[in-house]
Amino acid sequence: MPPQIVLASQSPRRKELLERFGFSVKAIPSQIAEVRQPDEPAEHYVKRLAREKTLSVVQRIRATQPDQALPQARVSRVTGKPEGEELRWVVGADTVVVLGAEVLEKPKDNLDAYDMLMNLSGREHLVITGFCIVDMKREKEGIQAVKTTVRFKTLSKNEVERYVARGESMDKAGAYAIQGVGSYLVESLAGSYDNVVGLPMCQVVQMLGEMGATDLVPY
C-alpha cells in the first residue's frame, strides 16, 4: 500500500501510534536544529519546531519528486489511476516536558537524565506536544499544541539510578518513557496518554478529518 501519511520524524513511537490507527506511514526524518530561542514559551517552541520539521520534509519531497508539487499526481494513461506514490499528508511533531518554569528536553547524558528524574520526583509536570499537518495537494496546514498533566511518585535515588541504567531515558523528553518501564514512575495522569508518548492521536485524527482526509480517518 502506498504511504498515506509521511511522518517528519525518526521516532518509532510516533510511527507506531499512527500505524495503530491503520495508517500506512513513511518516515522521513527532518534535519532541522532543535534549538529553543531565549525565553521562548514552551508551547510556542513545540509548535514552531513541529511546523519547521514538517515544512522541511515537504520541501525535501518536492525537491526529489517534482510531481508532488502539482495539484494532481501523474496519472497513468492505461489505468487512469495515479502512478507511483502520491505523498499528500505530512505530519511533524515535537514534545517537551515543563516543570515549573523549566523546559526539559532530551537528556544529554545519564547524569542529566538522573538530575531530570530526581527533579520530577513527587511533583506534577506538563507534557506539551506540538504537531503540524500539511496537505501538499491543497497547500494547507494546521498546527496545534496539546498538554497533559503528569504526576510522578516519590522516587528513591536507587530507583532513578536503576531506571537510567536501563537506557530508556536518552531519547525521551524529560528522560522517561511512559510506554515502557518508565510507566512505573507515573502516579497519575490527566489528559491524553498518547500525547505523553509523543503524538496526541485524538487531536491528530480530528485535524486530519477537518482538513479533508475523509478517506483516511476511521469515522
**76-84: long-range pairs with CB below 8 Å, 24+:** 84/2
**131 within 8 A of 93, measured Cβ to Cβ:** yes
- 135 carries an active-site annotation: no
- Give the integer Cα–Cα distance in Å for 77 and 54: 32
Q: How far apart are CA 83 and CA 85, in angstroms?
A: 7
Which grid coordinates are listed for 165?
Answer: 541504567
Q: Which of 94, 115, 194, 215 is catalytic?
A: 94
- 25-27 and 89-99 strand pairing: unpaired
Answer for the pair 144, 207: CB distance below 8 angstroms, yes or no: yes
Active site residues: 94
